[in-house]
Amino acid sequence: TLTAPAPFADETSCQCQAPHEKLTIAQARRGTPVDRPVRVYADGIFDLFHAGHARALMQAKTLFPNSYLLVGVCSDDLTHKFKGFTVMSETERYEALRHCRYVDEVIRDAPWTLTPEFLEKHKIDFVAHDDIPYSSAGSDDVYKHIKEAGMFVPTQRTEGISTSDIITRIVRDYDVYARRNLQRGYTAKELNVSFINEKKYRFQNQVDKMKEKVKNVEEKSKEFVYKVEEKSHDLIQKWEEKSREFIGNFLELFGPDGAWKQMFQERSGRMLQAFSPRQSPNSSPTRGRSPSRSPSPPWVINKTSPPSSPKAASASLSSMSEGDEDEK
């Protein structure tokens, strides 16, 4: 379990106890010798340490079943002399390598060209690097003598990422990063920005803030309009449901077959029955009399045919009394 960063070579002694015998690649791949690991060396500048660097070191560490990886990091003086200016200082680059999980030991101020004395001092068995010829310091390939000695083991480069690519992105977007750091409190002097460019960047920052506010207002307005539309849709839907419910209740009450019509018909029938009740049948026979004429009582005097003389009137009265006697 890794609990501490890798040590520096000048602060620790070599861990190889057995005599350092020369190994072939075939022997190293078989896992021999058993009494010590295979010591693999990888060097570089490692400026702006990135995934491509870590992947190369992973390959160097896993070249053999049992290996011990030493990483040499060149100093600022050598790097600025043979390659160019770096973003990170040598101390920062050393520390970045110490905290890589594949590194067992870091060699500070590593030489630009490997010498037999350096290889013997650190008991290096093999050197790992990508196979592309590395022309520098007046040589077409600084690893040419290592390859001829059979001590070179190639690794694969990771395409799409390199320190030069990262620096190119920074240079391309320099204005963006300068404005960002001005916002974070860096001074124009620290950023090596002129007075005019400083004012321009600050003005652009204010414009960006205003754009951001306008954008936020637009988003809030859109959200408000969406909520209003959603509420309106809900209200319209509820209104339609209530309208359908009202129309249904109205038709149920006042429609052609509604309850109001049935109730009206029932009340109309009751009123007609109340105004014209049915005739009850007669309880006694008519005794043979004509239903069209009812007999007049004997005391009713026929007004239509008055007696022509007193004699006639007396005669009629006598006849009526005789008739009564006959009925008795």
Please check whether residue 41 is in contact with residue 72, taking contact to mean a CB–CB distance below 8 angstroms. yes
* pLDDT of res. 328: 41
Q: Mean pLDDT, consecutive 10-residue segments, the chain of 328 residues?
A: 82 60 83 82 96 96 93 96 93 96 96 94 94 81 92 93 93 90 89 86 82 84 80 80 79 68 72 66 51 50 50 51 47
* Euclidean distance between CA atoms 89 and 100, whole angstroms: 17
- Cα–Cα distances (Å) from 200 to 190, 191, 192, 194, in that order, read 17, 14, 14, 10
Q: What is the dotted CATH code of the domain comprising 25-155?
A: 3.40.50.620
Q: Which residues contact 103 (CB under 8 A, 6 or more apart)?
A: 6, 57, 61, 69, 71, 97
* pLDDT of res. 248: 75
**Closest by Cα among 100, 123, 108 to 13:** 123
* pLDDT of res. 304: 47
* pLDDT of res. 327: 46
* pLDDT of res. 237: 81
* Euclidean distance between CA atoms 167 and 59, whole angstroms: 25
Give residue limits of the domains in the chain: 25-155, 163-265
Q: Cα angle at 287 between 283 and 293, to 5 degrees?
A: 95
Name beta bridge partners: 157. Answer: none
Cis peptide before 33 (omega within 30 of 0): yes
pTM above 0.75, yes or no: no
